[in-house]
Structure 1
Amino acid sequence: MRKDEIKAIFDQQAAGYDAQWAKTLPIRNCLHLLLDSIFAGLPVDARILCVGVGTGAELVHLAQKNPQWRFTAVEPSGPMLDVCRQRAEQEGVASRCHFHEGYLDSLANTGLYDAATCFLVSQFILDQTARSGFFREISRKLKPGGMLASSDLASDVESPEYEVLLRAWMNMMAAADISPEGMERMRTAYANDVGVLAPGRIASMIESGGFETPVQFFQAGLIHAWASTRAPGDAT
């Protein structure tokens, strides 16, 4: 699936995106709880890059917890970024945010960041070389030793474990009131349009993108999350 096709899908989903996934909030809340621990050592005035920020869930969470942090929200879908901006305004944190509609390659160079988030984004890059290059784009935006917290759908799709996890995942989607048609679209997307790879393979792509060996700090069903730091000797 091309960038413009992915963007069009999220453009269409933006208005109802949070409501659609409301019943899966415990997963996101647990991820954010652990994210707080991962980022606990950052400076009191840290600058955070949120890549593919969507409707801004992690941005608002981190901003509420850390009143002096500043954020750059990067999102190619204008409607999704509008929801993020509105959310930040409602929560009183928009004055600490810069909103960039587009991709990393069009983001102005305004200095390096202390940390970045990238949740459920790289999975849409099917070419593995390009996916590793995407992580390198992020590493170039970070200070040496800067932190990355990233998550993606991950599993060895050839293994028996994947069928168990996929079945449980689909059961959870059904319990969350995702329509049968929506679940069928998801199943098709996982097979054709989402780069669901073994966790070790994704960690390897993060590392080859200029990071030290990633540490998996979270798993909920098919969602895995890693923490990593920009490698000290990595060239920008």
Structure 2
Amino acid sequence: MSEKDTVNHFDKRQAESYDARWQALAPLNDSLHLQLSLVLEEAPEEARVLCVGAGTGAELIALARRFSTWRFLAVDPSAPMLEVCRRKAEANGVADRCAFHVGHVSDVPEAEGVFDAATSLLVSHFIVNLEERLRYFRDIRERLRPGGVLVTSDLCEAPRGQQAELMPVWLRMMRYAGATSEQVEGMLTSYEQNVSMLPEQAMENLLIEAGFSHPTLYAQSLLIRSWFARAKQTHA
């Protein structure tokens, strides 16, 4: 699956029910967002943050509530998901600091300028083609100022042959969140066809090739691994 193939996987009904579907995993998301905010805390007082694959806006709302002077651009290919994100921003009183772009990061116009930070949470593993995934991260880097920070979290292959032991725990988490046995089986099929879980070193090499320096693995939650890295200076 390429980046362009991910358009509109969420219709209006799915977008409206998305947050409720994963409510049982709120503690996990809260942990991810707390660590995200700590990584990005060094950003400028009036930072501009690019949220790629923003979905219903969970990380955007978490950051906007903690950093009251930051501004955000939420990017997602699903218009219904971004509409939920917009409504949540309004409900939380942060909509005046948010803009919304339906499409991919590669579609964000140059007129938007550069950003101080970018987030990509549980997005890039859906881009199975490695060249497309490299292009995705390059597109983000090109929209960051030199030294700007990218935070990316993705499903990754467990190290040292531990995948077979860890996957059943991951599937138990899916059942805990309310997935039926049939849905769990469907997830396994989807993982085989539509998800690319790279080993840690391959993921870090990809970020370096995309133009980031010092990828730093700062968190693991079962199959989810999170890195931050800094955009290197680009040369014409």
Instruction: State the TM bucket, normalised to the shorter chain.
Output: over 0.9
C-alpha offsets along residues 51-77 of structure 1, whole Å, 9 cap, x if unaligned? 010000000110000111000000100
Measure the CA separation in 1 of the matches of 2:103 and 2:208: 25
Identify the residue that residue 120 of structure 1 maps to in structure 2. Answer: 122
Equivalent pair of 2:134/2:210 in contact (CA under 8 Å): yes
Question: In the aligned structure 1, how far is the partner of 2:177 from the partner of 2:99?
Answer: 33
Alpha-carbon offset, residue 235 of structure 1: 3.0
1:78-227 equivalences in 2 (<5 Å): 78-109=79-110, 110-156=112-158, 160-227=161-228
1:13: Cα distance to partner? 2.2
Structure 2 gap ranges (5+): none
Maintained 8 Å contact 2:167/2:223: yes
Per-residue deviation, 1:5: 5.4
**Which structure 1 residue ranges, 5 or more long, are not aligned?**
none
CA–CA distance in structure 1, aligned partners of residues 201 and 165 of structure 2: 19
Q: Percent identity?
A: 40
Of stretches 93-102 and 3-12 in structure 1, the one that deviates more from structure 2 is: 3-12
SS at 2:35 equivalent = helix
How many matched pairs?
234
8 Å contact 2:170–2:223 — kept in the other structure? yes
Which residue matches 1:10? 10
Task: State the TM-score, normalizing by the size of structure 2.
Answer: 0.94
- In structure 2, how many angstroms separate the alpha carbons of the residues matched to 1:217 and 1:199? 12
Secondary structure at 1:17 match in 2: helix
Find the aligned partners of 1:2 and 1:200 in 2 and give their Cα distance. Answer: 21
Distance of 1:49 and 1:3 partners within structure 2: 17
Task: Give CA-to-partner distance per residue, 1:57-104, whole Å, 9 cap, x none.
Answer: 000110000111000000100110011001001001011011000112
Q: What is the Cα deviation at residue 2 of structure 1?
A: 5.3
SS at match of 1:196: coil
Query: Aligned equivalents of 2:52 and 2:144: distance in 1?
Result: 12
Q: Secondary structure at the match of 2:212?
A: coil
Distance 2:171 2:83 in 1: 30
SS of the equivalent of 2:201 reads helix
Query: Within 1, Cα distance between the matches of 2:117 and 2:19?
Result: 25
Give distance in 2, aligned partners of 1:79 and 1:167.
Answer: 32
Post-superposition shift, 1:4? 6.2
Contact 1:139 1:209 in 2 (8 A): yes
User: Matched residues in 2 for 1:8 and 1:39: separation?
Assistant: 29
Corresponding residue for residue 43 of structure 1: 44
Cα distance between partner residues in 2 of 1:42 and 1:119: 18
Q: Deviations over 1:110-129 (max 9, x none)?
A: 21100000001111111112
2:186 & 2:235 partners in 1: Cα distance? 41
Query: Would the aligned equivalents of 1:20 and 1:178 in 2 still touch at CA under 8 Å?
Result: no
Match of 2:134, SS?
helix
Q: 1:182 to 1:7 in 2, by over 3 A?
A: farther
Q: CA deviation at 1:163?
A: 1.1
